[in-house]
Amino acid sequence: MHSDRCYTLTASCPDRVGIIARVSGFIAEHGGWILESSYHADPGIDGQSGRYFMRIEVKADSLPFPLAEFSARFAVIAADMQMDWKLSDSALKKRVVVLVSRQEHCLYDLMARWQSGELAIDIPCVISNHETLRGFVEWHGIPFRHLASEDKGAMNAKIGEIFDEVGADTMVLARYMQILSPALCAAHPGRIINIHHSFLPSFVGAKPYHQAYQRGVKLIGATCHYVTADLDQGPIIEQDVIRIDHSDSVDDMVRYGKDIEKAVLARGLRYHIEDRVLPHGNKTVVFR
């Protein structure tokens, strides 16, 4: 992400001739200075039509109008090209609500990156189903919301209420060991991010390191993905692995895995808040 204030356009549309020329021509026509651009053509398979993806950063002060007018003018082109598109302003930090249970390593890492300015986000609150991490969160001056109920439907509804109440853009499950309801997932598609302690699609669900140990794998990893109603099946944003061998115990694997989980979640969240991730069915295009 550039230090200059910029507007970021992300879009996808049916593949055709002249897409780049049409979009970059529109920007150039108004004096726009393109700072970064990325493109990808997905040809499709089995007779499916291809789709084109793009991400363009434009220096904000190079344009003669604000974001709202940029959006209104570009909408004409987008409609003609059947685009799914979004515009964002780098001056407006994403508001990220973090959900956590008892395991603290991912929360600690996110808070350190937030406090240092490495992650340019606002954290309006942290939600947990346990009181364990209240002191740590409140020491950072962030509201802590404890939700615990045997009625999981009511608890999920409350999470949704808090998310809307604080005006959040993104929800991050930083080792939140509860399953979100289908209704909550459906209400926020592409806005809920999870870190799973396994290299998906292998070893879904609980205790993946135990599953990996019993299977005798030589690589373990972590996966950052969008949350859907299908457990651990959402579009993957980022993954990483580490090599292990027969001498490593389950405890060793858990310890190695925590380091991978922190790094993968931080990278995945960064790609998301910088509008580098374009979901495409159950896949993603990630412009790093």
Nearest-10 Cα torsion for 51, 48, 199, 237: 20
151 catalytic residue (yes or no)? no
Q: How far apart are CA 189 and CA 205, in angstroms?
A: 21
E strand or H helix that includes residue 165: helix 152-165
Q: How far apart are CA 145 and CA 123, in angstroms?
A: 12
Alpha carbon 5 to its chain's center? 21
Who contacts 220 (Cβ-Cβ below 8 Å, separation ≥6)?
Answer: 198, 199, 209, 212, 241, 242, 244, 253, 256, 257, 260
Q: Which of 232, 240, 252, 275 is catalytic?
A: 232
Who contacts 204 (Cβ-Cβ below 8 Å, separation ≥6)?
Answer: 196, 198, 231, 232, 233
Nearest-10 Cα torsion for 279, 90, 120, 102: -30
Q: Active-site positions?
A: 232
